[in-house]
Structure 1
Amino acid sequence: MLSRALRLRRAASAAAAAALSSRSCFDVSTSAAAGVADTGLYGFPVLKTGKGFRRFVDEAIERSNELVSYVSQLPPSMEIIRAMDEISDTVCSVIDSAELCRNTHPDREYVEEADKASMRIYEYLHFLNTNISLYNAIVKAETEGVLLTEEAQRAAYTLRVDFEKGGIHLPTDKMEQVNQLNLKIAHLGRKFNENIMIDPGSVDIYPSSRIPKNMQHHFKPIYRAIPDSSEKSRELTDSKREKGLRVPTDSSTLSSVLKWVSDAEVRRQAYIKGNSVPHANLGVLEEIISTRHELAQIMQCKSYSDFAIRPNMAASVDVVTSFLIDLSKTIKDKANEEFRTIKNFKRQMCNEKTADLEPWDEAYFTGMMKSSAYDLDSSIIASYFPLYQCLEGLKLLVESLFGATFHRIPVTPGESWHPDVIKLSLHHPQEGDLGFLYLDLYSRKGKYPGCAHFAIRGGRRISETEYQLPIVALVCNFPNKHGSSTTRLNHWDVETLFHEFGHALHSLLSRTDYQHFSGTRVVLDVAETPSNLFEYYAWDYRVLRTFARDEITGDAIPEKLVKAMNDARSMFAATELQRQIFYSLIDLTLFGEQPATARDTISIVADLKRQHTSWKHVEGTHWHTHFNHLINYGAGYYSYLYARCFAATIWQEICQDDPLSQSTGAAIRAKFLQHGGAKNPTDMLKDFVGNGVIKNRGDGIIPDISCLCKEMGL
């Protein structure tokens, strides 16, 4: 029933730049409202302690039960939809808050209590999802012509579909099976993600000099004995110990090692280890696959992929498969050409005419080729992107596009989960406050390791004059160098920041009657479109010159440098796109129709890699066991490519000529962001960009790929 709602990168002098820093509303430091009583985590009074999550769940269940009784007595009417949305809002406030807490709070009591709360509320969903009176009320409201708005009609339809995804239309025993399977899938998914954090892997590298000096301080020193056969005594002394480094192979660290370490053997060891953990997830994933398949069979679907894709724009596995295969064929020749170019470069650099190109070579040699071809120095690029200036850039972007401003507001005692967290309000001079955004930007132990957008509260209309403002959090893991006044971002981090900011704007600028459709609560096919669109802003010189300034001189980033960065970005664009197609096919295949004779997931992934990329599979590795999108998306990873095509079309047709104009911003907001999931996505995209943005294929929809191909020079 409620699963949809739960789904859920020159004008100024140095003095002027310093002034900009000091007055920035984004200045990242702690503050709290003096003399204000403790309001509780995220402003919820019940969350003054970790144990408050228990009462949070109790109150949510109590209020929801009242609403269930209320709905069951109503005649078919608009009020049914409003009350159902309040149930959704009540339950989501617990789940969303618990999810953010579990991933970011440094206090173990809060994390453990949030974890328990999350599981309790999911179990309560079992009651809601199997409540016949609620289902019957929705069906009657949908079919008896009492719904007066398009959004209410769409809400009734999606709520009914969500109920039926939970098996409510099946015999009682089958419905119970479906709900038990969903609970099992949720537990397994949590175990999969926990294993990734528990077992990131590591390699011991001797001697430490094999790691670049500027990276060594990140890793734990280790020592081993150097045997001396001439000595009768084998006692260790400093002169007989060799220093090494223990290098973790979590995704972020592994990425840095593969890009910056020149020693091929170190890269090989790190690649193999990093792509062979966590081993325990091989069994967890196989169990998830079989459980999801069992669920799909009960729901009379050929596969879980079929079950998951059916409600989306794509509508069928065949439509998605044909889209991915066509795209794969379109870029294959260019990707193969790029592969040969990298291999020849390696042979030149290593002076070996027959050297093979290995998977652990890609990041190192492509990075070297880009720097060499375009005279790029990552430290120089980073000097233009101090974090405070990047945040100021986001503020200027919102002002230019939407006429709105971010204001720093104090957090009340107990509201924040860490001293680094700041709170902003998005304010429009005519409309007032539009929503609230928490920023949690720095890496720390025990925190969610990537960058993500978390909802805390969705927007919804409470009355004709009152609107519940959305509250979201943007969580990143930028390095926090203690003792340094400035964190500098590499441009990949800038792109990631803009990507997640696109999600945040989707949440903050949507104005839907029902929180069921608030912001990113949309069909999966379009969910990543705003985030992909705002990545373009991170690469456009007209945008970058407004905030990317040299930290010392205050000079704006040179146009020549931005052009070189863009040229370097496009050097291996087909290879990167090929990788995303490969990931999508893994996701689609693992949860697709299951063969009579089961195959292990390693061999499936290896075969797909050989078929759809230019790169070899390394025996013994199983990279996909830390690919958490298999859990979070489950046959939906293709949506990144759908969104990329949609974003390319929007950028070229709507934004490219004048990306910072208010007319551009008005179109983005009025024709896309403000609708959230309340409007049919096909109609919304056609109204925004024109009929050419999508194509019909069979019973489903695929995006037009021409703008993406044009962007890549295909």
Structure 2
Amino acid sequence: MNSSMAPAQYKKPPQLPPKFTATPSSLVEETKKLIERSRSVQDAIVAHVPLEKATFDNVLLPMARDDNKMAIESHIIGFYQAVSTDKSLRDASTDAEKLLDDFGIEASMREDVFNRVDAVLKGKEALEPESQRLLEKDHKSYIRNGLNLPAGPQRDRFKEIKKRLSEISIAFQKNLNEEQGGLWFTPEDLDGVPEDLVSSLKKGEDEHEGKIWLTFKYPDLFPTLKYSNNAETRKRVFVENENKCNQNVPLFREAILLRDEAARLLGYKNHAEFRIEDKMAKTPKTVEDFLGDLRTRLAPGGESEIKKLLELKKQDLKDRGLNDGTDSNYFLWDHRYYDRLMLEKDYSLDHQVIAEYFPLQTTIQGMLKIFEELFGLVFIEVVGKDREDLAEGGKGSDIVWHEDVQLFSVWDDEGEGSGFVGYLYLDLFPRDGKYGHAANFNLQPGYIDENGKRRYPATALVCNFSKPTPKKPSLLKHDEVVTLFHELGHGIHDLVSRTTYSRFHGTNTVRDFVEAPSQMLENWCWTPSQLRSLSKHYSYLSPDYEAAYKESSGSTKKPSEQIPNSIIANLINTKHVNDALFNLRQLHFGLFDMTVHTPASHADVEKLDITSTYNRLRNEISQLDGPEALTGKNDWTWGNGQATFGHLIGGYDAGYYGYLSSQVYSTDMFYSVFKSEPMNGNEGRRYRHTVLEKGGSKEEMQILEDFLGRKPSTEAFYKELGIEK
């Protein structure tokens, strides 16, 4: 609800939101101050605590508290590069993040501090479970950062590698964020692409007179691949999109080589073994068995899906009198197009019509209401004068980073004790220089401070949905509704988490579990009653929209206000259409990730042709043809998809399988607890307190077992995919 109408007890949050008033110079100054403070905490421990006197309270606690304070500032410092419209601020944020990363590497390799942590571990004090976990995880991370290597050339080389990897990761993501590529097309080239999109594109001048500029950003890219009747257009867009960041190709290769070298220095067989050791899976073999098993089970489904799609393609080319000699190939750039055509033909499903029932703002309100009911929360949008009040002495615009951003204060409802929970921000539309996907960013973690007082979290959803126009609000396709639920799932995890240390707050869990809570909430987008309650046809939002709808649809009567049951039934029938192909695509990413991170020797990874591996594996796993099928030369070098694959450089290295493995956990949780009654508030609250609240403060497998009452099983996952064991 809106803050001006909120009940009095929800008016005045006990903690002010952060301010977003940094300048390029203040960001870098602030960062240097944080680093100074942090370094002096570590120096003081070393100066004042002799090894035989080392305890949790005089070694780990001061560092954990400094960590807490550091996180309150540092997450926001790094956030500007994802959302600021000012290039100099984005650059400064990148520079500041590099300083923080370099300092993190220096701190993680301080032998004088490690010796004291080691002494505490050996002292076997009786500690609270979360403090014990902090001690063990910190101790392990020093070892994983090379402190078991003998001081000298080896350790220096390891440190050098860590620094370079951090530089690569920042540069790689920056190249993707700032990517400004696109293609000039004539209107005929874009035949079939929705008029809403085509009319919004930039018009060409001079030598591009009569052409329009199509970018590689999602709101341009996906509709073109889905709707363009011209196969040549789809091919150009697809291939050029795979090549949009070729300056990342050498960076990707260098990262793979350095990771392998670093893992071997530490005595691991390869980077995957190093990465997976502290995840739920524990070993690469567990991951490879899981992915291999899944591939075996999905392959037949993929084959039969392609067979049907190829028949549809043949018929379509015939109907349109096209004889381009490709009717025996099913191409990568065919898939979104014929997948959509099949849904329209066989399931009479029109995603454009469905989108009319999901205007962005009413969908968000509906979604927040679902989360309120399930988890005992209250969301209050902070607007107008209330924003000014929260900006204490500043302007209301100081507490957001862009005028489009919505801010909510989040509270427990009365049943949960009416306490303050934290702040939620929504930044929903594309802008130049903005992070290009959908993601949840923690801005400030929660923790217990040195006076035993709780510090509350702030979290942001950054998405790229189409902007409203005078004739239409922003309308969400069903898959965008799912994305919104998924990212808000991370956001809720971040908000309701209650840990002692910021280190374990919210989504700070192991990577092969972190997606499970958000994936589980996607199930609510496939439940008829929830879909209905979320929906509201946009013509009901205002008289102008109603008039515009009547004009564009040529219909005199208004549609029903909520989405009709018949459309919902059709939509739900399509949940698993071409599902094997979708999952094989995920499997390609996961297996490519494991392939480049498990070479038999360092020499093998040096001679690995990463580009060919990426394209060849995709063809073998997904069974879709690329341009190599047109030349008959089996040339796998036509595109550099790995250079656009931010996950593998941004933390999901040897971890992309986590999307699939956490799908196993999320399906298990949904089936066994919520499927029969998705809006069961008791179970919702139990889930909140047993799973979400714990963050990473407990062994993740234990959290799952506590909630399920047993060990997790893959049965529900395979059942949901229609593959019986």
TM over 0.5: yes
- CA drift at 1:248: 2.2
- CA drift at 1:55: 3.1
Residue number among 350, 366, 377 corresponding to 1:393 in the alignment: 366
Find out whether 1:512 has 2:499 as its counterpart. yes
Find out whether 1:140 has 2:119 as its counterpart. yes
Find out whether 1:503 has 2:457 as its counterpart. no
Post-superposition CA distance 1:283-336 (Å, at most 9, x none) = 121111111111111111111122111111111111111110011001111111
Find out whether 1:565 has 2:571 as its counterpart. yes
Structure 2 CA distance for partners of 1:242 and 1:83, relative to 1, 3 Å = closer
Post-superposition CA distance 1:367-393 (Å, at most 9, x none) = 011122222222321121111111112
Aligned to 1:588: 594
Corresponding letter in the other structure for 2:641: W
Residue number among 42, 45, 48 corresponding to 1:71 in the alignment: 45
- CA drift at 1:120: 1.4
Superposed, 1:600-679 pairs within 5 Å as: 600-619=609-628, 620-632=638-650, 633-679=652-698
- CA drift at 1:477: 1.2
Residue number among 423, 429, 439 corresponding to 2:407 in the alignment: 423
- How many residue pairs are counted as aligned between the two chains? 655
Residue number among 310, 329, 342 corresponding to 1:369 in the alignment: 342
Q: Secondary structure at the match of 1:167?
A: helix
Aligned to 1:121: 100
Aligned to 1:229: none
Q: In the aligned structure 2, how far is the partner of 1:25 from the partner of 1:90? A: 29
Contact 1:200 1:278 in 2 (8 A): no
Aligned to 1:43: 18
Structure 1 stretch displaced more, 279-288 or 74-83: 74-83
Structure 2 CA distance for partners of 1:484 and 1:105, relative to 1, 3 Å = farther
Aligned to 1:11: none
Corresponding letter in the other structure for 2:646: N
- CA drift at 1:403: 1.5
Q: In the aligned structure 1, how far is the partner of 2:102 from the partner of 2:189? A: 53
Structure 2 CA distance for partners of 1:612 and 1:58, relative to 1, 3 Å = same
Contact 1:207 1:242 in 2 (8 A): no
Corresponding letter in the other structure for 2:435: Y
Residue number among 27, 30, 42 corresponding to 1:53 in the alignment: 27
Structure 2 CA distance for partners of 1:201 and 1:99, relative to 1, 3 Å = same
Name which structure has the greater RCO, CA cutoff 8 Å, separation 6+: 1
Aligned to 2:377: 404
- CA drift at 1:606: 2.7
Find out whether 1:165 has 2:144 as its counterpart. yes
Q: In the aligned structure 2, how far is the partner of 1:676 from the partner of 1:629? A: 22
Q: In the aligned structure 1, how far is the partner of 2:243 from the partner of 2:31? A: 39
Corresponding letter in the other structure for 1:60: L
Q: Secondary structure at the match of 1:478?
A: coil
Contact 1:658 1:664 in 2 (8 A): no
Post-superposition CA distance 1:587-625 (Å, at most 9, x none) = 111122255350211221233223322212433122222
Among all aligned residue pairs of Structure 1 and Structure 2, give the percentage whose two residues are the same amino acid.
24
Aligned to 1:458: 445
Find out whether 1:436 has 2:423 as its counterpart. yes
Q: In the aligned structure 2, how far is the partner of 1:202 from the partner of 1:480? A: 19
Q: In the aligned structure 2, how far is the partner of 1:110 from the partner of 1:447? A: 12
Structure 2 CA distance for partners of 1:279 and 1:616, relative to 1, 3 Å = same
Aligned to 1:214: 196
Aligned to 1:30: none
- CA drift at 1:26: 12
Superposed, 1:183-202 pairs within 5 Å as: 183-199=163-179, 201-202=181-182
Structure 2 CA distance for partners of 1:445 and 1:639, relative to 1, 3 Å = same
Q: Secondary structure at the match of 2:184?
A: strand
Superposed, 1:215-234 pairs within 5 Å as: 215-222=197-204
Superposed, 1:140-539 pairs within 5 Å as: 140-173=119-152, 174-199=154-179, 201-206=181-186, 208=188, 210-211=190-191, 212=193, 213-222=195-204, 243-351=210-318, 354-409=327-382, 410=387, 412=391, 413=395, 414-428=398-412, 429=414, 430-463=417-450, 465-483=452-470, 486-539=473-526
Contact 2:169 2:649 in 1 (8 A): yes
Structure 2 CA distance for partners of 1:621 and 1:54, relative to 1, 3 Å = closer
Contact 1:192 1:628 in 2 (8 A): yes
Q: What TM-score, normalized by structure 2, do the two folds share?
A: 0.86
- CA drift at 1:267: 0.9
Aligned to 1:577: 583
Structure 2 CA distance for partners of 1:158 and 1:466, relative to 1, 3 Å = same
Q: In the aligned structure 2, how far is the partner of 1:110 from the partner of 1:303? A: 38
Structure 2 CA distance for partners of 1:98 and 1:465, relative to 1, 3 Å = closer
Contact 1:24 1:392 in 2 (8 A): no
Contact 2:445 2:502 in 1 (8 A): yes
Post-superposition CA distance 1:633-660 (Å, at most 9, x none) = 1111010011111111011001111111
Corresponding letter in the other structure for 2:436: P
Q: In the aligned structure 2, how far is the partner of 1:349 from the partner of 1:485? A: 32
Post-superposition CA distance 1:67-126 (Å, at most 9, x none) = 224433354434233322123223333431122111101123322222221111222223
Q: Secondary structure at the match of 1:43?
A: coil
Contact 2:493 2:692 in 1 (8 A): yes
Contact 2:473 2:538 in 1 (8 A): no
Q: Secondary structure at the match of 2:649?
A: helix
For structure 2, the 5+ residue unaligned runs are 6-10, 541-559, 629-637
Structure 1 stretch displaced more, 560-569 or 665-674: 560-569
Q: In the aligned structure 2, how far is the partner of 1:61 from the partner of 1:320? A: 38
Structure 2 CA distance for partners of 1:65 and 1:198, relative to 1, 3 Å = closer
Structure 2 CA distance for partners of 1:150 and 1:706, relative to 1, 3 Å = same
Contact 1:251 1:274 in 2 (8 A): no
Corresponding letter in the other structure for 1:341: K
- CA drift at 1:25: 6.0
Q: Secondary structure at the match of 1:426?
A: strand
Structure 2 CA distance for partners of 1:545 and 1:323, relative to 1, 3 Å = same
Q: In the aligned structure 1, how far is the partner of 2:238 from the partner of 2:526? A: 30
Q: What TM-score, normalized by structure 1, do the two folds share?
A: 0.87
- CA drift at 1:223: 6.3
Corresponding letter in the other structure for 2:23: T
Contact 1:545 1:556 in 2 (8 A): yes
Aligned to 1:103: 82
- CA drift at 1:556: 2.5
Contact 2:82 2:177 in 1 (8 A): no
Q: Secondary structure at the match of 2:526?
A: coil
Residue number among 696, 718, 721 corresponding to 1:709 in the alignment: 718
Structure 1 stretch displaced more, 89-98 or 631-640: 89-98
Contact 2:425 2:459 in 1 (8 A): yes
Q: Secondary structure at the match of 2:461?
A: strand
Contact 2:410 2:421 in 1 (8 A): yes
Corresponding letter in the other structure for 2:18: G
Find out whether 1:540 has 2:540 as its counterpart. no
For structure 1, the 5+ residue unaligned runs are 1-22, 28-32, 34-38, 226-240, 694-703
- CA drift at 1:585: 0.6
Contact 1:508 1:519 in 2 (8 A): yes
Post-superposition CA distance 1:261-289 (Å, at most 9, x none) = 11111111111211223222221211111
